[in-house]
Amino acid sequence: MIRSKRLSCLAAGFVLLAGVMLNSAHAAPSAAGADEAGIRAQTANWVKAYNAGDAKAVAALYAEDGILMPPGAPSAVGPKAILAYVTKDSANAKAAGAVFAVNPKTDVGVSGDMGWESGTYSVTVKGAVVEAGKFLSVSRKKDGKWLYIRDTYNADAPSAPAAPAPAKAPAAPSAPAAPAKK
């Protein structure tokens, strides 16, 4: 009888443990799925704000220690520098009629409060693609919100070569030297 009670308790313990493990297995993917969706939403918000010329909304997506590393420019470190860079860059893009788009098929990974996203983007002007490239963003979750801590992108095509410096005009001929006196 004692042995059957022990076996019953042991069996009940295994059933309970199996239930906890099943619940854990189902909870982890949904939490990861929610975090992945949050990171993708962060990128969608970046694109929407950038195309609208809303530099403040773009800068608000970066952590206090965030760094934006754009191509052909120094890194923008911290919210003020990121705001300054995005203000100028998005205004220039909007004036040129450029529209930034991210391919929705991105790769996203999450580990605890850290996450990353990589993918491709395109820039169009009047419907014609003028640039295609790739991006990589690393984010940290703080108070339930994903914020960029590192963000970089670059074009697939090489940058256009710098225009050559204008040629110097030939020096004016100098006056002949006066003959030496004897």
pLDDT digits (tens, 9 = 90+) for 40-92: 999 999 999 999 999 999 999 999 999 999 999 999 999 999 999 999 999 99
Question: pLDDT value at position 180?
Answer: 56
Residue 9 has pLDDT above 50, yes or no: no
Residue 16 has pLDDT above 80, yes or no: no
Question: pLDDT value at position 3?
Answer: 47
The pTM for the full model equals 0.72
pLDDT averaged over the chain? 83
Residue 14 has pLDDT above 60, yes or no: no
- Percentage of the chain beyond pLDDT 90 is 68
Confidence of residue 17 (pLDDT cuts 50, 70, 90): very low
Residue 173 has pLDDT above 50, yes or no: yes
Question: pLDDT value at position 158?
Answer: 82
Question: pLDDT value at position 178?
Answer: 56
Exposure string for 31-46, b = 16+ CB within 10 A, e = fewer: eeeebbebbbebbebb
